[in-house]
Amino acid sequence: MPLHNRQSSIEMLELLGVVKENGNEQQSFPPVHTPLSYDYVLVAKTINNQERESFKKQTEYIEELKKKNFKVTKIIDDNHVFYGIQAPKEIFEKYRYLLKVSDACNWSSDQSAVSLSTRIRIVHFILGHTRIHSGENLRELIKMKVFETKFCLHEKKKQRELKAGWARWTACLQGQPITAVRNYFGEKVALYFLWLGWYTFLLIPPAIIGIIIFLYGISYYKHSPLLNEVCNSNTTMCPLCDKGCKEWKLNDTCIYTKVTLLFDNEGTVFFAMFMAIWATLFLEFWKRHRATYVCEWKVSDWSEEEEELILELVNDVNCEPKKFKHSYWTSSLIFICVTIMILVIISLTSAVVVFRVIAADFLAKYKLKSLSHHSNISVMVLGGFLHYFIITIMTRVNWIVARKLCDMEEIRSFASTEKSFTVKMFTFQFFTYFTSLFYAAFILGRINGRPGNYVKIAGRWRLEECHPTGCLTDLFIQMTIIMVLKQTISNVFEFTGPWLCRLWKGKRTQKLQRKCAHCYLKDDSDTKDGDELCENCKLRDWLSNYRLNDVDSFSLFREFLEMVIQFSFTTLFVAAFPLAPLLAFINNVIEIRLDAIKMVTLERRMVPKKTNNIGVWLDILEAIGVLAVIVNGLVIGVSSDFIPRLVYRYHYGPCAQGTAAPDTDCMVGYINNTLSIAPFLRVNGSYKYSENIPPGEEPFLCRYKDYRSKDDYTHTHQFWIILAARFAFVILFEHVVVICKFIAAWFIPSAPMEVKNCRLSDKLKRLKEELQSFEA
């Protein structure tokens, strides 16, 4: 297939509204000359004393660049010194030649011209690997305050084009010009937005089904005998604490029961199975779309590590290769550190649990009835907010620890360092976000004991109990608080932070002069090789970029991490929160434009990176997809009351024997069936559990959620039947869904046939050209 033909996968994405190329994907990079405002800019504070060590290091670094034939233009502006860096042509000629003779990159690059994004990447690498005689590189010099910052420059014309067609709020429901984004920001950023756009589009089906499941829950609980049994019940429940607590009525929790039945119903089983298969379909179709675009961009076989080796040679022809290193001692030490960090995160979750237990005991004794009878709900909400506060703090701690651990590894290339950092940081964040949810889903209310033998913290505070209708609402409340707070607060700070920072920098620096007419025309038209702006206009351009917010090598990583954590929320516990895909969809529609506006107008230009995939994130997403099957199976089988209700309906309920009246609901009496009886005595105004009732004393009988005998308090036969059914369901659910996932993954090829044929034709064409040049 000819390369210039439009790929059908791109046409489909454009038809669906994910992308909006208008033929841009068929265009190669335009011929690039030296940019008007130089390739890169270094900024330093003005130093009047030339004997200071920082001034000497600054001068020495600039001299090292000049030895490499870099053109350096110095412009002083009040308290700052700006150095415009412009690389010589021979550097790019070396780069093109080395690409041609390389193993992987030779077949994966357009060698007709060096694009401006590639030019920036080359200069960025050389600046970062240029050292002065004392051994410091640019990063270390910035840490030492020798230089204040460094940045590459925005192109005004392209910036306006991207802002008009992409980076604006009114474009929220339009497709993205992915190839234009790639030409400006590089393949790495373009693949992020392509992935995010595809993920957002595919959230539409689960969002719609989640709404249907929610509406089904509303209609279900209105006619549910479980709701009538709770709301019209006169059942007296056992006190929530051992001292100072009174009995309470089951009908006090009518609202809680309504919320539970919204999400804990038969529809969530289907939805959990659908989401597990959806995750596989999403990733398999993503692989196809990625393959299509990287084929169009001619980076299918691109190797980041090989390009890094080429850049090292371009920077220094006498360089020695940075060798691979591995130490079992270092690996063991890092493993121990990661384990300790995970244990610290789990201990913080345990601290939240202790807080909830103590707070529940305190509120249960509170005189205000609305608080004492709903103490569990109150502490759940308080615990959710406390957990979010811990997430905010630990995110910063996790970042520092992950960076330190990567420094210990002494990894050879930046690509490998980024992969290692991604795995560590995601692992820490996963435990930070989800440990509390795993507690709510699988531990809460299952190890708290029984009257007379409660499990207590420090022998005083009883562990939390589940509501008679189940524990799923606790999980739902936790997820809602964390997900809503995370998405709203992070988006607000993500946009207002850079905007306020730019405003503050603008007030601290002098007002920019207007660009002269001559330079204005240059900036708005196609430049010729050798064109430059005048000094005032250069300074104006540099100052406008300097006032923008700084970016670094991990700026895009933060965006990916945020989205992958959201993907985890959307898939892992979706059985407890069917509206999660809807919230994720709304957030992502905003997130795409927020990130676009931020990158184009509020932040300095990100250094364009060339790649052909989203890296280790794909492996993480696939691991989440597998984990989603296990977690959702356990949530339905263990956390929800789906299995106990089935067992009651077909084995213990009024319809079990087949003798019930035709109009009898098979779930009548279910709540009463799940409650056991315990005797209490009133002692000094409070209730005390007593197995042996003294003669003449009238015991107070109350109910608690469990399947126990009223004689010896051992688990009943029904408890063991339900337990066996739970495990059987989990095993069956996971095997069926995993088989469906494997079938879906096998059925959908990772790359369209036209893409494979396109690559085959391209390689054959290149080989013919090489053969013709050899014969000539």
pLDDT single digits (tens) 436-449: 888 888 888 788 78
pLDDT of residue 514: 57
Q: What is the mean pLDDT of the segment spanning 411-416?
A: 81
Which pLDDT tens digit goes with each residue over 143-200? 988 899 999 988 888 888 898 889 888 888 888 899 899 989 999 999 999 999 999 9
Q: Binning pLDDT at 50, 70 and 90, where does residue 650 land?
A: confident
pLDDT above 90: residue 654:
no
Alpha carbons 760 and 751: distance in angstroms, whole number:
13
Closest by CA to 546, choosing from 130, 12, 37, 162, is 37
pLDDT above 90: residue 204:
yes
Q: Binning pLDDT at 50, 70 and 90, where does residue 509 land?
A: low
Which pLDDT tens digit goes with each residue over 6-40? 567 777 777 777 787 765 544 444 444 445 557 89
For the chain, percent of residues with pLDDT exceeding 90: 21
Closest by CA to 304, choosing from 411, 463, 180, 184, is 411
User: Comparing 104 with 250, which gets the higher pLDDT?
Assistant: 250
Alpha carbons 471 and 443: distance in angstroms, whole number:
10
Which residues touch 395 (CB under 8 Å, ≥6 apart)?
Answer: 429, 432
For the chain, percent of residues with pLDDT exceeding 70: 87
User: Comparing 5 with 475, which gets the higher pLDDT?
Assistant: 475
Q: Token pair for residue 689?
A: 């559990």
Pick from 141-155, 416-430, 610-624, 734-748: least confident: 734-748
User: Comparing 463 with 88, which gets the higher pLDDT?
Assistant: 88
Give the CA count within 13 Å in the CB-facing half-sphere of 691: 9
Q: What is the mean pLDDT of the segment spanning 352-379?
A: 70
- What does R_g of the chain's alpha carbons equal in angstroms? 32
pLDDT of residue 2: 40
Q: What is the mean pLDDT of the segment spanning 589-605?
A: 91
Which pLDDT tens digit goes with each residue over 680-719? 777 665 666 666 666 666 777 888 888 888 877 888 899 9
pLDDT of residue 34: 47
Q: Token pair for residue 351?
A: 């601290």
Mean pLDDT across the chain:
82
Which pLDDT tens digit goes with each residue over 749-765? 888 888 888 878 877 88
pTM of the model: 0.88
